[in-house]
Every structure is written in C-alpha cells, then in structure tokens.
Amino acid sequence: MHDMSAHAAEHHAPTSFIRKHVFSLDHKVIGKQYYGLALVAVLVGMVLSWLMRIHLAWTNYPIPGLHLLSANGAPGNVMTPEYYLQLMTMHATIMVFFVLTTAPFTAFGNYFLPIQVGAEDMPFPHFNMMSFWVTFVGFLVLMSSFFVSDGPTLGGWTQYAPLSAVGSAAGPGQGTGVVLWAAAIGIFCIGQLLGALNFITTTLDMRTKGMSMWRLPLSAWSWFITSVMGLTAFAVLMPACILLILDHVAGTSFFVPSGLVLNDQLQPHSGGSTLLWQHLFWFFGHPEVYIAIIPGMGIVSHVLITNMRKPVLSHRVVVYSMGALAVLSYMVYGHHMFVSGMNPVSSLAFSFPTLVITIPSSIMVLIWLGSLYGAKLRINTASLFALGFVSMFISGGVSGFFLAQPSIDIMLHATYFVVGHFHMVMGVAAMFGIFAGTYFWFPKMFGRMMNETLGKIHFWLSFVGAYCIFMPFHYLGIAGNVRRYQAFVDDYLQPLIPVHRFITIAALLTGAAQLIFLYNLFHSRFWGKPATDNPWEATSLEWSTPTTPPPHNNFGDKLPEVFHDPYQYGVESSTGDYVMQASPEKVKSAHDEA
C-alpha cells in the first residue's frame, strides 16, 4: 500500500478531445472503450451465429442479401460449405477473444479495479492506453480477413495444424486468412499482457490505506486472479502464433511433418509436430475458459451479495476456490486431446485433475446456494442475471462430468455435446455475468439508471431463450451429431434436423431480444433517470466516489481510507443495514472482520 497523495498531484484531467476520449490514459475511459469494442464484436459475432444457424437448419435456402457480404462465399445468397466454416471460425474467434475476454475482464476490470482498491488510476496509464489500442488493432486485423480474396480462415478457432500451417493448398482462407488470424491473435496477446501487468500491479501496489488483500471485493479478486492467468496463458499463445506465421512466410516447419500430400503435391515441409500446436494451443486454451468465466464469478458474487444483503458464507473460501480453479486450469488442458493420438496413459493423467476441478467449482455453487439461505434477496435485473448465471453455471458445469472422462469422450468428442457444454458455461454464463455487471454498474459509469422493466423483459427472454438453444445441443451430441458440419448428410443425423430447426428459431428470437438491451443501454445513457451515488446501497469503494460518474482521479483531493471488510451487510448502522468500506463508523457486525 502506498500513500498516493504525491502522485495524485501529477494526475491532471486532460482537456483536448483526443486525449480525453480517444487516446485517453484514464482507466475509466479505457474500460468504456473496451466495453464498446466488446459491444461491436458481440453484435458481429451474433449476426454470424444467426447466419450459421439459418444455414444449418435450412441448408441451401437463400438468405436475402448474403451475397453482399461475400459474392464468392454466398453465390445466389446461398452459403458455400467453406463460407460456413469461415463464418464459424470468425464467430468463435470474435466471441472468445474480443467479447468474453474483453467485456468481463478488461472492460469492467479496467473501470472498477482501481476504484475498488482505492487508487486514482492504474500504475502504468500509457501501457493501459496501449493495451486497448493494440487490442483494437488486433480486432481490425481479424476483421480485415473478411475482405481478402479467399476470405477468412476456415480452420476453427483452435486452428489445428497442419490444416492451418500448410497454406492455401489446404483450402480457401488457409493462406492469407490464417496469417491474418494468427497476427490478430498475436497482437491481441500483446494487449492482454500489457493489461495484465497493470491489473497485477494495481492490486498489489495501489491499494489505499486500510485496504488489505482480504478486504478486496470478490470482483477485484477475480480480476487479479484472471490477470495472473492472462500473463501466463497469453505468453504461450503469442509465440505459438508467431511460429504459425513463420510456417507460412518463412518456410519453417514447426507444425508440419514430412510426407504430406495435398492436391497430389508432396509438401516441402519436414520435421514438425502437429501435436505441438495442440499442446501450445490448449495450454493457453483451457486457462482461457477460466479467464472468461472467473471475472463472471467475481462480478456475480459482488452483485449477489449486494442484493442478498448479506455476505457470502466465506469470503476466503470463494477466493481460494477461484485460485484453485486458476491453478488447476493449467493441469487439465489435455482433456481436449483424449482422442488426439496422445499417449493413452496421458489421457488418464489429464482426466483426474479435470475431475478434481469440479470440486472448487462445486464449492463455488454451494457457497452461492448456501449464502442465499437466510438472505433478504432483492429482485432487480442485475440480481436476476446473477442468479441466472448460477443456474447456467450449474447446467454447463454438470456436463463437464462427462467430458472429463476419456472413455465417454470417445463418444462425445467433437459433437454438439461439447458445443452445448462450453456455450452454457463460458458463453451464456459469462454473458450473464456481463449483463449483471452492466445493469449493476451502469449507474456509476454513466450517472443514469437503466430501465428496469426493459431489463427484466431482456432477462426473461434471454434466460428461457438460452436454455432453448443450448440444452438441445447436449441431446444432439448424445445422439452423435458431429460439430463443425455445414450440412447434415449422414443417414444417422437425419432425425436430428428438426432439433436443429428448433434451435435456430430459438437463437433468432433470443438474439432479437438482445436488441432490447441495446436500446435500453443507449436510451438510458442519455435519457435514463439520474442515478444517486449509491443506488444499490452497496458497500465497496466504487460507491464512495465524490461524484457519479467518478471524477478524473476517482476520489477527488483525498484517497479514501478503508475501515471495513468489503461486505458488511446485515449490520445496524446510521445508513441502514450496511456500512461502507470507507465509513469510519463502528458498527455491531454479525460477521467477523478479517
């Protein structure tokens, strides 16, 4: 902890438009920029998923105007097989990297981590600014692949070699498309590494007086843990992307063995390993799942506690569980490779930590459930989405029991069961965490309340809709429906096509419901009811700022001092049933302070 008062004097508010809104050093502006990027990305990703779903349910049915997107990809407005795979790859890449990593982690984390620890900004504001703009460039590079002659890569977000490494001989988009993909992700990694350094240093070095580590809110803990993961996971993916690019442009063979024949041509590669890519990718890829979901766990805990009017059963157990998930996530990655030809004994070795990781996950769920017991639950849009998160996390979590076992994976690997599993647990659950955070923090970020009626309609349509989309995915997988097919031509898949049609209709409706959110977001931004400083009667430091939204240096002339644990609810104080962290008031607490 530092006395930041000397530093505070240096922190002047910028005056020019460019320094204030574009190349801003203010963590709050950067947080909003990340949120805006995620919003654009999620809209692109969602529209791609609509196109894919329509094509899967009614293959060869023309989608009006599709040829405008790509004349080659959709002649006569009907998607070609390769264009389906290209849209699928872009959908996944955009969603995983530019939505699920940016919104809950770098957007909310940037805005609220410094405030929650009681700092005036991140320690390296220039790194922070670079982190966003580098990420933005990564997004542009990825998007640019839509406009190259043979389109974006079709290799899936996992980009398995050698399909990804042998160039355009392997198919449309596998030349320039892959290079742009790997460059975009490599650039994205740089942005994440810069961000992670800031997050870690903010948490360790910028805490205000009285803010011990155990007094950090669970959201701050989740961003801290996630940033440590980001630092180690993205540091592996970035060099892997560089090696992949070298295989394309420098004639290397990191991921290509000898003796491969494509289009009757013997490839000029030798000595590479295709499994090397899988190991490098999944060493990043599995922690990435937790990078997407741990901030959601933190945000949801934060929102739930405020609305339950009581702390969770044990703050420390939640922190330890998130930590255990983070550590274990590096030991389980081989469960993506059970049928990859890896040594079958290794599969068993990766299976056990995968089964063990269900224990900290279960502890989290049981802590949420046990904390609900005896609560004074306030139902609002934020708490509905937080509770929806818990329900989705349970549903997406139990399917992990199946996929953790190599023997069952023989049947379920590469089927829609896997698609259902990860969409529920890291897609929908993480999105619900983002929504909970948005409805909860919007008043602080923009000084206005979001419309609760529209919010609740948005919740109901999203909650029921998401179940209608993703639960049937599991049934398809059990029946052996292979994923990443642009059409279902196999005899045994024919009875499953009506299920796909049901899913498509549900996806279109649920997607349309997100327009309500979008309207609410923009309308409330300008015309929402003005918000008070602490509309939810919450305790953490973001609700103690002198103005709403917070001033440029967050706390005005003087940084706050912290006197309490983060979640002192259910107490008797002068303000009601809670006492804020920054309030020196002594209260009788039912909960021991750390």
| Closest of 145, 157, 178, 158 to residue 248, by C-alpha | 178
Please report whether residue 369 would count as binding another protein according to CB under 8 A: yes
Measured from the CB atom, the residue of 239 and 344 that comes closer to another protein is: 344
Amino acid letter for position 496: L
Binding-residue pattern over the window 221 to 260 for another protein, x denoting contact by CB under 8 A = -----------------------------------xxxxx
Measured from the CB atom, the residue of 78 and 313 that comes closer to another protein is: 313
Q: How far is the CB of 152 from another protein (least distance, A)?
A: 13
- Member of 322, 384, 431, 582 binding another protein (CB under 8 A): 384
Whole-angstrom Cα distance, residue 149 to residue 168? 12
Q: 294, 225 in Cβ contact below 8 A?
A: yes
Please report whether residue 201 would count as binding another protein according to CB under 8 A: no
Please report whether residue 411 would count as binding another protein according to CB under 8 A: yes
Tokens of 78: 């009907």
Within its chain, how far is the Cα of 382 from the centroid? 18
Whole-angstrom Cα distance, residue 293 to residue 173? 31
Residues in CB range of 306: below 8 A, 6 or more apart: 440, 536, 537, 538, 539, 567, 569
Please report whether residue 155 would count as binding another protein according to CB under 8 A: yes
Measured from the CB atom, the residue of 213 and 394 that comes closer to another protein is: 394
- Member of 355, 457, 505, 508 binding another protein (CB under 8 A): 355
- Member of 63, 69, 478, 508 binding another protein (CB under 8 A): 478
Q: How far is the CB of 351 from another protein (least distance, A)?
A: 6
Residues 456-475 that bind another protein (CB under 8 A): 456, 463-464, 467, 471, 475
* Phi, psi (rounded to 5 degrees) for 101: -90, -40
Measured from the CB atom, the residue of 555 and 578 that comes closer to another protein is: 578
Please report whether residue 406 would count as binding another protein according to CB under 8 A: yes
Please report whether residue 349 would count as binding another protein according to CB under 8 A: no
Measured from the CB atom, the residue of 235 and 394 that comes closer to another protein is: 394
Whole-angstrom Cα distance, residue 93 to residue 180? 12
Binding-residue pattern over the window 284 to 323 for another protein, x denoting contact by CB under 8 A = ------------------------xxx-xxx--x------
- Member of 351, 514, 539, 544 binding another protein (CB under 8 A): 351
Please report whether residue 327 would count as binding another protein according to CB under 8 A: no
Measured from the CB atom, the residue of 302 and 413 that comes closer to another protein is: 413
Amino acid letter for position 196: A
| Strand, helix or coil for residue 415 | strand
Whole-angstrom Cα distance, residue 57 to residue 73? 18
CA dist list (Å): 544 to 428, 537, 549, 579: 31, 11, 11, 11
- Member of 49, 405, 514, 544 binding another protein (CB under 8 A): 405
Q: How far is the CB of 235 from another protein (least distance, A)?
A: 26
Residues 413-442 that bind another protein (CB under 8 A): 413-415
Q: How far is the CB of 338 from another protein (least distance, A)?
A: 9
Q: How far is the CB of 181 from another protein (least distance, A)?
A: 14
Q: How far is the CB of 253 from another protein (least distance, A)?
A: 10
Measured from the CB atom, the residue of 82 and 247 that comes closer to another protein is: 82
Please report whether residue 170 would count as binding another protein according to CB under 8 A: yes
Q: Where are the alpha helices (DSSP H) in 94-252?
A: 108-117, 125-144, 176-205, 218-249
Q: How far is the CB of 458 from another protein (least distance, A)?
A: 14
Cα dihedral angle (496, 499, 504, 509), rounded to 10 degrees? 180
Tokens of 115: 């405030």
Residues 543-582 that bind another protein (CB under 8 A): 569-570
Whole-angstrom Cα distance, residue 274 to residue 256? 6
Q: 433, 300 in Cβ contact below 8 A?
A: yes
- Member of 26, 82, 247, 542 binding another protein (CB under 8 A): 82
- Member of 9, 13, 22, 377 binding another protein (CB under 8 A): 377
Residues 255-284 that bind another protein (CB under 8 A): 256-262, 264, 266, 272-275
Which one of the spans 30-38, 137-145, 355-363, 525-533 is the region binding another protein (CB under 8 A)? 355-363
Measured from the CB atom, the residue of 192 and 274 that comes closer to another protein is: 274
* Phi, psi (rounded to 5 degrees) for 378: -100, 125
Which one of the spans 5-13, 34-42, 335-343, 507-515 is the region binding another protein (CB under 8 A)? 335-343
Residues 492-511 that bind another protein (CB under 8 A): 492, 495-496, 499
DSSP H or E stretch at residue 394: helix 381-403
Please tell me what DSSP assigns to residue 484. Answer: S
Tokens of 228: 């440590």
Residues in CB range of 8: below 8 A, 6 or more apart: 120, 553, 557, 559
Measured from the CB atom, the residue of 231 and 499 that comes closer to another protein is: 499
Whole-angstrom Cα distance, residue 327 to residue 251? 37
Whole-angstrom Cα distance, residue 594 to residue 534? 24
Q: Is 281 exposed, middle or buried (0-12, 13-18, 19+ CB in 10 A)?
A: buried
Which one of the spans 139-147, 149-157, 440-448, 514-522 is the region binding another protein (CB under 8 A)? 149-157
Residues 1-40 that bind another protein (CB under 8 A): none
* Angle at the Cα of 480 from the Cα atoms of 478 and 483, rounded to 5 degrees: 105
Whole-angstrom Cα distance, residue 419 to residue 474? 8
- Member of 110, 395, 534, 568 binding another protein (CB under 8 A): 395
Please report whether residue 87 would count as binding another protein according to CB under 8 A: no
Q: What does the chain come to in residues?
A: 594
Measured from the CB atom, the residue of 235 and 509 that comes closer to another protein is: 509
Measured from the CB atom, the residue of 67 and 309 that comes closer to another protein is: 309
* Phi, psi (rounded to 5 degrees) for 51: -60, -45
- Member of 122, 178, 363, 469 binding another protein (CB under 8 A): 363
Q: Which residue is it, tokens 């919007």?
A: 442
